[in-house]
Structures are given as structure tokens and as C-alpha cells.
Amino acid sequence: MIERSGSKNVGLIIPGTNNDRILKIAPGDNIPSAGLKYKEQIEMALIGNTVKPKKLVVAFSGVDHAEIDDALNALADENVSYAAVSTQTETVASKVVSWVKEQREIGKNIKAVLPENTADNEAVINFSTESVSIVDKSYTAEQFCARMAGLFAGTPITESATYAVLPEATDCTRMSKKEMDSAIDAGKLILFYEDGEVRVARAVNSFTTKTDEKGDQYKKIKLVDIMDTIKSDLRSTIRNEWIGKKANTYDNKCLLISAIQGYMDDLVLQNVLESATVEIDINGNKQYLEQNGVDATDMSSDDIKKANTGDKVYLVANIKMNDAIEDVTLEISI
């Protein structure tokens, strides 16, 4: 059985030193003295949204972020879904963006919330609200990124953060409807004030340039989070329960397919996915056979499916994700 992950971990990189590079804080924990200088951002990161983040992982990056590379390397081992930097320079931001891209290339599902950063990447969220107020105190976009990272970590994949209320916020930089639309189209995550509440506008990341491989789905934080969560859940279970523990027989391949399909079916029941199918990748099996000296020209599809593929398992899945309701048009005729 493949377990679906719940709330996610959030990361915060702060300048300074500690006996350990990493400090872990769960919601409700007292903040250790090493983190008191950034107490507000730590507390904001743990507020979350519908749920609270599972835990906050604070990474210390040395005085003036002189050891940022070491902090990023330490954070890479902590299964963090969203990360922010307490204070930063252009150099630090550039390092974080490069690190996020590198981590995702090797299968890690980290995403970063950075202020005014047009990375044009689905894993970088460009937070662009200039100022957010909590009662009589104002926070810059940079200071508020920790809050946004925690908000996304606390948003289940059954929901979108679009229109999420930040109950502690009392005001934010105001924009016209036209300015908001332009910002969203440019891949900027913004907040807006309406009816006495501060809300997230459309939950988009910085990705704007579509390609043949990546379309509009990659602009939505929710949809990217669904893809990342599925990959993370499947990778964790296969690593822990299948690799090295099961013989690579056709029957065991079918059992693995059944487990993955059951996981996907649960996501369909939760309306995360509209549909999902998993099966043996016939093309993958055929290529393996041909590369290992087997003439598969006259083999049936069923024979190719059941063929011995050494230590390799080739599967293919087709999923269709459900987006959240974000636009409602109602025409009333009288």
C-alpha cells in the first residue's frame, strides 16, 4: 500500500551560526535561542493554511550568508517542500534558484518562495507584494516570504491557495484590477485586500514561458504540488518496500502496478485527479530486450509485457489532474 503524504515541511535559511547546521521546529515548539533573532519569521512560517506545516527546518548559512552553499546542502537532505530565505542579496537569490533547479533534476521536489524573482520556473514562486501589514507593523516582501512558504506547505493537494485568507494580516499594498491581472500574467504571486481581509490572489509561480513539454499546468502552484507529491510518495514507497526486496517477475510487476493504481484511484476519489492509469511500458521493455540481444520483432505485446527485463522495471502512467475552481462566470437572464 502506498501512503499519501499529509502536511509538508517548510525550510527557512537564516544568516548566523549554530552548533548544528540544521534546527528543526514543529508547530507549538518553543523557539530555541539560536533562532530568536528571526522569531517572527519562524512563527510566520509555522502558521500554514488549512493545516500547519509538518515542521520547520531552519538552516544556518553563516554570517552574511557566507556559508550559503553549506546551508543549502544541509537543507537538501531534509525533505523540504517549500523554502524561503530570511534576508538575501542578488547573489544569494541566484544561488537558491540554481540549487532548486539542481535538486529537482535529481528528483527532489523542493520549491522556493523568493521576493521579486523572475526565474521563469515552476519551482520558484515570485512573491511580489511590496508590503504587508499586521496591525501597526509593516513587512517587506522579503520578510514575508517565510509566511508564504509556510502557507503553501500547509495547503493540501486537494485545495488551491488561491483566495486563501491570511487572518493575521490587516492590510497590504493595494493594486488596481488591471495591475493585478498584469502581475499574475507575469508570473507574480500577489496579495490583495478586500472586505477587510488580505487574501492570496491567483496561486501562480514564476513560470511563464510555455514549451512543448510544459504547458499552462506548470504555472499553477497547486498542480505542480500535485505532481511533486505523487512523485515523492511513489518514490518513497518503491525505495522502501520494493527495490532490492522483490524478485523482478511479471507477477511482482503486476503487484507493483496494482499498488500504484490503488494510490492513484484514491487521488481520483479525493478529486485530486480526474483519471489515472498505470501499466507496463511495452516500448521500454522492447528497447531493453533489443539492447540485450533479443529479437522482439515477432513477439506479441503480451509476450513483451511478460519478458524478463533483468533488474529493470518499465512502467508508464497517464494522469489527468483536477484544478481548483478559480473563475466563476454567471450570466443571469430575466
Domain residue ranges in the chain: 9-221, 245-321
115 in helix, strand or coil? strand
Return the pLDDT at 104: 96
The answer to whether residues 113 and 152 touch, using CB atoms and an 8 Å cutoff, is: yes
Per-residue buried b or exposed e for 198-235, using 16+ beta carbons within 10 Å of the residue's own CB: bbbbbbbbbbbeeeeeeeebbbbbbbbbbbbbbebbbe
CA 96 to chain CA centroid, nearest Å: 15
Tell me which DSSP letter residue 16 carries: B
pLDDT tens for the chain, 334 residues: list them.
Answer: 676 777 899 999 999 888 889 999 999 999 988 888 899 999 999 999 999 999 999 999 999 999 999 999 999 999 999 999 998 889 999 999 999 999 999 999 999 999 999 999 999 999 999 999 999 999 999 999 999 999 999 999 999 999 999 999 999 999 999 999 999 999 999 999 999 999 999 999 999 999 999 999 999 999 999 999 999 999 999 999 999 999 999 999 999 999 999 999 999 999 999 999 999 999 999 999 999 999 999 999 999 999 999 999 999 999 999 999 998 999 999 9
The answer to whether residues 271 and 322 touch, using CB atoms and an 8 Å cutoff, is: yes
Which architecture, in CATH terms, is 9-221?
Answer: 2-Layer Sandwich (3.30)
Per-residue buried b or exposed e for 271-305, using 16+ beta carbons within 10 Å of the residue's own CB: ebbeebebebbbebbbebbeeeeeebeebeeeebb
Strands 22-25 and 9-14: unpaired
User: What are the cell numbers at 122?
Assistant: 515552476
The answer to whether residues 260 and 317 touch, using CB atoms and an 8 Å cutoff, is: yes
Q: In what order do the strands lie in the sheet with 137-140?
A: 137-140, 131-134, 171-172
* pTM reported for the whole predicted model: 0.94
Q: Using CB atoms within 10 A of its CB, is residue 193 exposed (0-12), middle (13-18) or buried (19+)?
A: middle
Report how far residue 147's alpha carbon sits from residue 101's, in angstroms, rounded to the nearest whole number. Answer: 22
- First-residue to last-residue Cα distance in the chain: 54
Report how far residue 130's alpha carbon sits from residue 128's, in angstroms, rounded to the nearest whole number. Answer: 6
Return the pLDDT at 3: 66
Return the pLDDT at 321: 97
- Give me the phi and psi of 282, to 5 degrees please: -60, -40
Report how far residue 202's alpha carbon sits from residue 177's, in angstroms, rounded to the nearest whole number. Answer: 12
CA 276 to chain CA centroid, nearest Å: 20
Strands 197-200 and 191-194: antiparallel
Return the pLDDT at 136: 92
Dihedral sign (CA 74, 101, 280, 273): positive
The answer to whether residues 312 and 148 touch, using CB atoms and an 8 Å cutoff, is: no
Report how far residue 299's alpha carbon sits from residue 10's, in angstroms, rounded to the nearest whole number. Answer: 50
User: In sequence order, what are the residues at sequence separation of 6 or more whose Cβ sits closer than 8 angstroms to the Cβ of residue 168?
Assistant: 47, 134
Return the pLDDT at 8: 94
188 in helix, strand or coil? strand
